[in-house]
Chains A and B, each alone.
Chain A
Amino acid sequence: MDFQPTEERRMLADMIGKFIQNDYPLKARLTAGTEALGYCPKAYSTMAQLGLIGALFDEEVGGFGGSGFDIATVFTELGKGLVLEPLNDTALTTGYILAQTDQLKLVDQIILGKKRVALGLIENGADYDWSAPETLAQQTGAQWQLNGQKTCVKFAHGADGLIVSAQTPSAPGISLFLIEASAAGLVEHPFQTVDGGNACEITLRNTPARLLGVEGQAYPLIDAAAARATLALCAEALGLMERIKDMTIDYMRTRKQFGSVLGKFQALQHRVAQMLLEIEQAKSAVINAANDLQAPTDERNRAISAAKYSIGRIGCAVAEEAIQLHGGIGMTWEYDLGHFAKRLVMIDHEWGDQDYHLMRFAQS
């Protein structure tokens, strides 16, 4: 047993940390988050050149990583810097689907940061369940056409392509389709997200598309892609929490009230101590999930759900507690904490919240 990261992953983490420190100021991130694309193409491209996307893929498909621990390493570091760039939404998840369906040329472009492909699975935005899309794909000759709508498709605006799920008349089960950004009948309505960023409501009307993989057989593929996306979110949340904890401790060491720094009040000490042990539990959950990413499906999904549940519960608690311990300053836009807290809470709203994963774990 060895809980030390490998030398390669330590170097990867250091490199990402240095990139954030030198080239990714929070102010620029906040500005990019409110602009049309909702992210910063230049930073995204630099990160691809540094190999951050390559680290998310197997050697077989043109990457140099791709294991659970590679994904966790990259996203924990991105979380520490509150990095907005859509590596999860338009590279990791869709790149995996494309790699598994023999679209290796496009995967190369994704790894190089030259193309982005978004993923639209959900149709009712209240729901986390992607297993029964109503979007309909029909074939005329060799050509597929899609009709339907997708909601809260993250960072779809400005992407080069879109993967969507659909049902087909001839096969039960879900199928996946690739749509070009310029395809006819594809209409997107972008909107801002509360954590800074962008998503789209999408409608498809007789939109031409290419079938990915085997018709009606996409469920296990989406499930595996979802496992990667969820692991990445959990790792990102862990990075966010580490930083939030550090900010809170720093504040407790410097803020004086009643003639003493806050950190000297026992009632507050115990609350930060509680925060620390919760975060340690979250970290263990992420390690378990990273370790089981390659495990048989049931085992993998149990570990993923255990992690997402833990992250959801602990993340919200840490975000709220850190703001409370800071007081008014934690409520301001100018102070970093609030932005970390917003992202941390919103992670519970992607790929299933804590209740969704608690139930999935219980029923597995």
Chain B
Amino acid sequence: MDLNFTEADQAFRQEVIEFLNAELPTDMSRRVHADLPVSKEDTEFWHAVLHKRGWLTYNWPKSFGGVGWSPVQQFIFEEECAAAGAPRILPFGLKMLAPVLMAFGSKEQQEHWLPRMCDGTDWWCQGYSEPGSGSDLASLKTTAVKQGDHYVINGQKTWTTLGQYANMIFCLVRTDSDCKPQAGISFILVDLATPGIEMRPIRTLDGGQEVNEVFFTDVRVPVSNLVGEENKGWTYAKYLLAHERNGIANVGISGQKLARLKRLSLTQKRGGKPLAEDPLFAARLARLEIELRNLETTNLRVLDGFSKGAGPGPESSMLKIIGSELEQNFDDLTRRALGRQAQAHTPEVFEPGYNGPQVAPQDMANQSAAYFNKRKVSIYGGSNEIQKNIITKMILGL
């Protein structure tokens, strides 16, 4: 057993750091560190920078234009990007749809759609959940009926993240109702400009707007947009979810939050002394740091398994549960560190030319809203309860 990164890995880390130092604008990393809502401009800018360097598709296999990094190198890249405050790569196209197209799409689909997600032509969003089908995704009711060379789609999708910026959506739709629910689902790609689609914003409890509901009324989609075989969509969806959960331990992001919290605890005062000297706070912080160290190794152990050919599997569920709860706990403790200042909701301090009061330290001005917003991470991508079901079934065999 050897827990050290190899010399090559360390040199690689240095290369990533140098790239980030040179290419990531300071104001952009400031917005990311402050947990402000994701902007279209920042995402598109950063995608273009990564694309130019060839790193946007860092987790794609070489045969599809990836860089061929090992899982450990991918981990290092994610960790350094998070530490630097780089905008997150939008996962819907590059990390979710792309693996499905590579595994199950036609050659034409691969050649058409994959380059477009790299050069920024398409912004993808996800059409999975429905009002009546959340955790029980297989019960989805949106239908696609074949009429000649088109499918006609009717129904409603919800929790569509950043759909307001998207021009394309990949959907799970019902193509057969006379069978086991899982056996009648298909995976289809829909142009959001097609007549009959309406996207409505859902305001979240923190006042933000990043999710949407999407209504489909007699939406005609070419048959050529079906991915793989009709009624095999559930298999593809499960494949996609396993990939989605792969990077979801978010070790890099939690590591960055730990560093930020340590800095904050030196300047915040409690009982007239630095918060870092408050024994109860110090114990809370220590617990999270220990959890993070443990998770880092758990994550690397799972990645090591993947690199030896195991492929994303139910272990991803483990990483998702621990990673999401840890990220939430960092946001929780950061909120606590702010004391009375946590009450302030003053995102306006980030606007150019702002000269009003600054209640919390500036990069913390959106922190309480972010804490409430991050309650989502244990709900989305298959709630942590669903992940436990998967572990129970697939790993424990119960």
Contacts and interface: CB of A to CB of B under 8 A. Distances in A.
Interface of A: 122, 124-129, 132, 151-152, 189, 191-195, 199, 201, 256-258, 267-268, 316, 320, 323-324, 327-328, 330-334, 338-339, 341-342, 345-346, 348-350, 353, 355-356, 358-359
B316 interface: no
A358 B204 contact: no
Interface residues of B, number: 56
A121 B337 CA distance: 19
B339 A199 contact: no
B343 interface: yes
Q: DSSP class of B's interface residues: helix, strand, loop or mixed?
A: mixed
Q: DSSP class of A's interface residues: helix, strand, loop or mixed?
A: mixed
Contacts of A350: 340, 343
Contact of A338 (B136, B205, B343): B205
A324 B135 CA distance: 12
Contact of A328 (B129, B206, B332, B384): B129
Contact of A152 (B205, B269, B281, B344): B344
Interface of B: 129, 132-136, 139, 158-159, 202-207, 211, 268-272, 275, 278, 280-281, 284, 328, 332, 335-346, 356-357, 359-360, 368-369, 371-372, 375-376, 378-380, 383-385
B202 A332 contact: yes
A189 B375 contact: no
Contacts of A355: 278, 280-281, 284, 336
29 contacts: A125-B341, A125-B360, A126-B339, A126-B341, A127-B271, A127-B272, A132-B272, A152-B344, A191-B357, A192-B344, A193-B345, A194-B369, A194-B372, A195-B343, A199-B343, A199-B344, A257-B134, A323-B375, A324-B375, A324-B384, A327-B134, A338-B205, A341-B205, A342-B205, A345-B335, A349-B339, A355-B336, A356-B270, A358-B280
A324 B340 contact: no
Nearest to B365: A191
A193 B343 contact: yes
Contact of B205 (A126, A151, A267, A332): A332
Given A152-B343, A355-B280, 14 more contacts: A127-B269, A128-B340, A191-B345, A194-B369, A324-B375, A324-B384, A328-B134, A331-B204, A331-B375, A331-B376, A331-B379, A338-B372, A341-B205, A359-B280
B270 A194 contact: no
Contact of B268 (A126, A194, A333): A126
Which of A125, A195, A316, A356 has the most chain B CB within a 10 Å cutoff?
A125
A127 B139 CA distance: 50
A191 B344 contact: yes
Contacts of B341: 125-126, 151-152
A267 B343 contact: no
A349 B205 contact: no
